[in-house]
């Protein structure tokens, strides 16, 4: 690797080799050749004078791209598509006259972009399913373990460790549905010509609409699509890029939520991401176990969420049938959106495969707050023993404020229970109050909600996609 020029961190640190290849030049130019072959076959089928030998020649050289010839030609003509038409023709002298016949640059450029995005979305879908499988297993294991819940980042009623994981999983489930929608909604541009009117194909097929439409249908089928866009200018609508990156942004949003929650839980010492045997947490503080993976998730997620603005502006600034100010932007924005989400999911696979839980810390944090939350239960138990509700309510209110002052101003422990036990008007001893303070009695339907969500939504989806599961993370650093 060269060390004296800029190299993208997506290449060296973050994205998988698989996703990098999808957005590589090699994949792009090989796809161009697949499209030229599909075009030639479709045109031959509709009667144009294209021979089997010419098509065989094209197929013989579909993968051995002569990059040096294409690069040298592009220096002369300043046009990437025509450079590769020329290079392909050098390798296929018998077929060079029928390569790209009737097409415009967007025939290979835009159709390839759709094909590449579909490949990328399929990888995202697969990795997303694997993250969901890991979180589902975790949620099921910890569905009944009480944990302190928060609203406004202040202690609220209890939840369970598994229910919180189900919240993370629930958002990823929504993202999966959106990714599926985008994959199923993709359509090829087809063979629309220079301004989308198919005028060149009207000339080639002497105005025969049926043949022109059949060419498009055959091209789509050859590339694994059931449809082409019904109407276009020279390009497919750039809103397609925006919709795809919006779906990726959704994954990033869910990942950032997960990463931020994990960073907070690490601070509380309730949960941690996996920490490797020889991992160094800090260059200055040897004891530290920084949540560096979740921090990286959040950093990359922020990038993706901002990146989606690029195709939004690109879609809005296209002039009439097309303008070229989309090209330089979209080849960066779309590719890096995919590479970043790929990196995020790689990290989530790693983190979710080794989540660390500290039950004693979780229990301790609950018990520091539970007396406040259980005050109504305590009051009602005292009322059953003959106490005056209004009097007891006021006393608990005062005792709770006094106990909170001890915790906040003096750094002491929550002594609300001791204060209540010392007041004979409650008629309760410590054992009776302790029996009330069972965290498991304060988690509502958390465990049942987890079970129902997994049974109704997640397990059927995972079972349907069982062949895609079992993936491990690929982390560079």
* Average predicted confidence (pLDDT) for the chain: 92
Closest CA to 130 of 276, 293, 342: 342
Question: For position 475, what pLDDT does the model report?
Answer: 65
Question: For position 287, what pLDDT does the model report?
Answer: 44
Spell out a b/e string for 78-101, using b for 16 or more CB atoms within 10 Å of the CB, else e: eebbbbbbbbbbebbeebbebbbe
Closest CA to 40 of 85, 87, 70: 85
pLDDT by residue (tens digit) across 404-441? 888 888 888 888 888 888 888 888 888 888 888 899 99
Name the H helices within 437-474: 446-453, 459-464
Catalytic, 16? Answer no
Q: At what angle do helices 239-268 and 161-185 cross, to 10 degrees?
A: 170
Grade residue 167 by pLDDT with cuts at 50, 70 and 90.
very high
Contact call for residues 38 and 16 (beta carbons, < 8 A): no
Report how far residue 4's alpha carbon sits from residue 68's, in angstroms, rounded to the nearest whole number.
Answer: 23
Which DSSP state fits 228? B
Residue 55 has pLDDT above 50, yes or no: yes
Could you say which of 24, 249, 282, 424 is catalytic? Answer: 282
First to last CA, the chain: 16
Could you confirm whether domain 105-277+284-357 is CATH 3.40.50.740? no
pLDDT by residue (tens digit) across 208-230? 999 999 999 999 999 999 999 99
Grade residue 403 by pLDDT with cuts at 50, 70 and 90.
confident
Lowest mean pLDDT among 14-18, 262-266, 278-282, 299-303: 278-282
Closest CA to 83 of 97, 66, 95: 66
Question: For position 39, what pLDDT does the model report?
Answer: 98
Rg (CA), the chain: 31
One DSSP character per residue, 240-284 reads HHHHHHHHHHHHHHHHHHHHHHHHHHHHHTSEE----TT--S-SS
One DSSP character per residue, 34-82 reads HHHHHHHHHHHHTT-S--HHHHHHHHHTSS---HHHHHHHHHHH--HHH
Could you confirm whether domain 375-436 is CATH 3.40.50.12780? no
Q: Residue 200: enclosing H or E segment and its boundaries?
A: helix 199-204
Contact call for residues 8 and 476 (beta carbons, < 8 A): no
Q: What is the pTM of this model?
A: 0.91
Residue 1 has pLDDT above 70, yes or no: no
Number of helical H runs and strand E runs in the chain: 21, 4
Report how far residue 338's alpha carbon sits from residue 125's, in angstroms, rounded to the nearest whole number.
Answer: 12
Which CATH number applies to 26-98: 3.30.750.24, 1.10.275.10, 1.10.3720.10, 3.40.50.1220?
A: 1.10.275.10
What six digits make up the tokens of 154?
């202040």
What six digits make up the tokens of 66?
């002569």
Closest CA to 169 of 258, 246, 272, 271: 258
Residue ranges covered by each domain of the chain: 26-98, 105-277+284-357, 375-436
- Lookup result for tokens 């993202």: 175
Report how far residue 351's alpha carbon sits from residue 476's, in angstroms, rounded to the nearest whole number.
Answer: 14
Could you say which of 8, 16, 24, 152 is catalytic? Answer: 152
Question: For position 282, what pLDDT does the model report?
Answer: 46
Mean of the pLDDT values across residues 316-342?
94
Q: Residue 356: enclosing H or E segment and its boundaries?
A: strand 356-357
Catalytic, 254? Answer no
Question: For position 286, what pLDDT does the model report?
Answer: 44
Per this entry, what is the length of the chain?
477
What six digits make up the tokens of 217?
């249908």
Closest CA to 245 of 138, 343, 335: 335
Number of Cβ atoms within 10 Å of the Cβ of 459: 14
Grade residue 289 by pLDDT with cuts at 50, 70 and 90.
confident
Residue 476 has pLDDT above 70, yes or no: no
Residues 6+ apart with CB under 8 A from 262: 271, 272, 273, 291, 294, 351
Contact call for residues 123 and 26 (beta carbons, < 8 A): no
């Amino acid at each position: 690797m060269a060390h004296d020029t800029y190299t993208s961190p997506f290449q060296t640190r973050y994205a998988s080799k698989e996703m990098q290849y999808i957005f590589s030049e090699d994949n792009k130019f090989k796809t161009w050749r697949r499209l030229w072959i599909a075009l030639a076959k479709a045109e031959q089928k509709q009667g144009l004078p294209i021979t089997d030998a010419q098509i065989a020649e094209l197929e013989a050289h579909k993968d051995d791209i002569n990059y040096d010839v294409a690069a040298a030609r592009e220096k002369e003509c300043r046009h990437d598509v025509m450079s590769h038409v020329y290079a392909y023709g050098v390798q296929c002298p018998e077929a060079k006259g029928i390569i790209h016949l009737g097409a415009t640059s967007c025939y290979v450029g835009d159709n390839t972009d759709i094909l590449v995005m579909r490949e990328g979305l399929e990888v995202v879908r697969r990795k997303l399913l694997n993250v969901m499988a890991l979180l589902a297993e975790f949620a099921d294991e910890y569905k009944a373990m009480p944990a302190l819940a928060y609203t406004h980042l202040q202690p609220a009623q209890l939840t369970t460790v598994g229910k919180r994981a189900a919240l993370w999983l629930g958002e990823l489930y929504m993202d999966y549905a959106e990714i599926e929608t985008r994959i199923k909604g993709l359509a090829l541009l087809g063979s629309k010509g220079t301004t989308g009117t198919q005028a060149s194909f009207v000339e080639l097929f002497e105005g025969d609409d049926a043949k022109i439409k059949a060419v498009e249908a055959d091209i789509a089928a050859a590339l694994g699509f059931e449809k082409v866009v019904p109407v276009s200018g020279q390009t497919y609508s750039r809103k397609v890029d925006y919709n795809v990156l919006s779906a990726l942004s959704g994954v990033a949003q869910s990942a950032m939520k997960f990463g931020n929650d994990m960073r907070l839980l690490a601070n509380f010492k309730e949960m941690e991401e996996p920490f490797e045997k020889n991992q160094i947490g800090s260059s200055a503080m040897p004891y530290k176990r920084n949540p560096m993976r979740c921090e990286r998730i959040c950093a990359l997620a922020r990038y993706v969420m901002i990146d989606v603005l690029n195709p939004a502006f690109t879609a809005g600034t296209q002039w009439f049938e097309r303008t070229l100010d989309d090209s330089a932007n979209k080849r960066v924005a779309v590719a890096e959106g995919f590479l970043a989400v790929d990196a995020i999911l790689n990290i989530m696979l790693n983190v979710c495969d080794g989540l660390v839980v500290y039950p004693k810390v979780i229990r301790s944090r609950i018990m520091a707050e539970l007396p406040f939350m259980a005050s109504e239960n305590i009051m009602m138990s005292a009322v059953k023993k003959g106490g005056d509700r209004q009097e007891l309510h006021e006393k608990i209110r005062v005792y709770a404020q006094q106990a909170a002052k001890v915790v906040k101003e003096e750094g002491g422990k929550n002594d609300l229970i001791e204060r209540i036990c010392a007041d004979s008007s409650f008629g309760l001893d410590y054992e009776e109050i302790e029996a009330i303070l069972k965290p498991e009695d304060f988690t509502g339907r958390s465990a049942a909600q987890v079970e129902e969500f997994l049974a109704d939504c997640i397990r059927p989806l995972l079972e349907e996609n069982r062949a895609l599961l079992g993936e491990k993370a690929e982390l560079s650093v």
